[in-house]
Amino acid sequence: MVSRMIKVITSEIEVKIDKIYLWNDSRTVLIWIKSENLRFKIFVAHRIGEILEIIDRNDWQWISTKENVADEATRAAKHMFYLERWFYGPKFLQLNKELPIQDLERENRQEISEDELEIRKSPIMTLQNISNQSVYLPDPRRFSKLERLVRSTAWVLRFSKALTKTRVESNRKYRINRKLMNFKNLEALTVDEIENAENSWRYKKNIMEKKSNKSMMEKI
């Protein structure tokens, strides 16, 4: 939610923002966000991808639960002290010194249980007609982060699927335009769509490797 709120605020205000700092009292969540080398289960990866589309992983820092005042706005404050803390934040934010940076991934990697990590056997491709259709996939060179590539691929596959359902009739243009309008109002990507997008790239990689091996054999 905070990443979506940041997106709205930064798009509406006219003040130039040089740096964004976000604080979270959950070490586990921060490790999820900051870990580039760990592969999590699809649901966790989906949420992380949505966050990183808006905010860079280096903008997130840890704060102790005692100093985290975010939840105080949702409670009935009985003392002015709590209202003041919520308006101004913890005192360390007002100190005239560089904010501490923690390497949570290195220090607390052991806090992640194996159940949270993605454990996969050799994948079995279950893509819907992906091998029989010429489905356009985004150019990976245009993306600096894997999460964005996967999510963009998921949107492309969803749009392609919506268009294939459009029947070819005299009013085909109208039907496609209606599909486009409906597409804009669709809900967030599902876990299955994210997984299908990942499988699309795995499938393409396998095909390219097979073609490469075949070319090498022909040269021999």
pLDDT for 109-145, tens place per residue? 445 554 444 444 334 333 444 443 455 788 888 888 8
159 domain-assigned:
yes
35 domain-assigned:
yes
67: DSSP letter: T
Residue with tokens 């393409």: 204
Q: If pLDDT is split at 50, 70 and 90, which confidence band does 146 have? A: confident
pLDDT at 61 over 70: yes
* Residue range 77-99: mean pLDDT, rounded: 69
16 domain-assigned:
yes
19 and 101 inside one domain: yes
210 domain-assigned:
yes
- Domain hosting 77: range is 2-111
131 domain-assigned:
no
pLDDT at 25 over 50: yes
Confidence at residue 127, expressed as pLDDT on a 0 to 100 scale: 41
* Number of domains composing the chain: 2
The closest of 212, 198, 188 to 140, measured between CA atoms, is 198
106 and 180 inside one domain: no
Residue with tokens 């007002």: 94
94 and 147 inside one domain: no
6 and 107 inside one domain: yes
Residue with tokens 């959950």: 26
82 and 27 inside one domain: yes
Bridge partners of 61, per DSSP, are 23
189: which residues sit within 8 A by CB, 6+ positions away? Answer: 46, 151, 154, 155, 158
32 and 99 inside one domain: yes
Confidence at residue 191, expressed as pLDDT on a 0 to 100 scale: 81
Encode pLDDT of 154-167 as tens digits.
Answer: 888 887 777 665 54
pLDDT at 207 over 60: yes
121 domain-assigned:
no
